[in-house]
Amino acid sequence: MQQGGITMKQYKKLLAIFAAAIMLAICFAGCSGASTSAARDTVYNSSSQYAPMEEYAPAPAATSPVTSNDMGFDYAAGEATSVTAGDIYAGRKIIRNYDISLNTDKFDENMDYIKAKVSELGGYVLSSNLYGSKPEAYGDAGRNIELTIRIPAEKAGEFVSGVETLGQINYVRDYTDDITDEYYDTDTRLAVLQEQLERLRAIMVETDNLADVIALEDRISEVMLQIETLTGTLKRYDALIDYTTINLSVSERNAITGPAATKTTADRISEGFTDTLNGVGVFFVNFFVWFVSSLPVIVIAAIVVVIIVIIVRAATKKRSKKKAEVKEESKP
């Protein structure tokens, strides 16, 4: 079947070529947009990296030097308390941890609260990772901060309860690790080694044989090394037990006008509708920006498509004309 000298099969080929050209233009535009957006990506600001659990150090004394990160958090512990973690868990050695994530529209106020509460409860910030920037223009995403906080075990519940009132909670995970057996096993081994060290030293004082003295010195060195290792393990256990570790993630949401926990159903529906409209507006703005920035590629692709269409049309007309001439010549 022919329409205007071009078959349906040829129209389908032209349509496929045009679609391929458009996809090529979109790919070029996407690549260029990715490179520029990467250059404008949010600056990552980290005060320190997360430390593995086995490398946690005991809380520094209140007289330790104080350092601070970009949010003004003090990296020092408060004063010691009279209640210990052992009193809470009836003498068992329990390591407690929390993972908390929340969204808020009062980012600065919440950071001030967290800073003050950590100081009030005698805790300290182990690490802080802040990224993003304060929303200043339409569609800005806002800031995010990830904090690893150490709070005295007996006051961790109070801190968590306060944090849960700051905004919309995504999740709160509370988990513990009972290391009672490991702790007392290490403590027993340490006591045995200390007794062994005393006996070795007593024997060394009494012996006059040079070979025995050399062998005793080697053994004493080995025992002292084991004692130092076990002592360090117990100190690390004590630090993890006495101070609860709280991994806190706070995300800023510019569209929220107040803590979600205080809003009515109508307010939440209204805000959800507003957020949807804002999202649609951002989509069309971004599409317009992409379209304008991609015009050079789109124009080139359109010119290529037009040239291909012209060539195909010319070739089709030429073949049709040739067929018509052959048909005329073949008539009797």
Q: Which residue has the tokens 């910030």?
A: 125
pLDDT digits (tens, 9 = 90+) for 195-234: 999 999 998 888 888 888 899 899 999 999 999 999 999 9
Distance of CA 25 to the CA centre of its chain: 34
Report how far apart, in Å, the C-alpha atoms of 103 and of each of 247, 250, 327 are: 15, 6, 78
From 245, 84, 83, select the one nearest 174 (Cα to Cα): 245
Q: Which long-range contacts (CB under 8 A, 24 or more apart) does 138-143 make?
A: 138/282, 139/278, 139/282, 139/285, 140/254, 141/42, 141/252, 141/254, 142/107, 142/251, 142/252, 142/253, 142/254, 143/107, 143/251, 143/252
Cα(33)–Cα(80) distance, rounded to whole angstroms?
54
- The residues pairing with 250 across neighbouring beta strands, listed in sequence order, are 102, 145
pLDDT digits (tens, 9 = 90+) for 92-149: 888 999 999 999 888 899 999 999 999 999 999 999 999 888 877 656 678 899 999 9
Is the pLDDT score of 79 beyond 50? Answer: no
pLDDT digits (tens, 9 = 90+) for 17-39: 666 666 655 555 554 444 444 33
Backbone angles phi, psi at 283, to 5 degrees: -60, -50
Angle between helices 8-39 and 265-293 (to 10 degrees): 110
Cα(75)–Cα(150) distance, rounded to whole angstroms?
10
Q: Where would I find the H helices in 40-142?
A: 85-88, 107-120
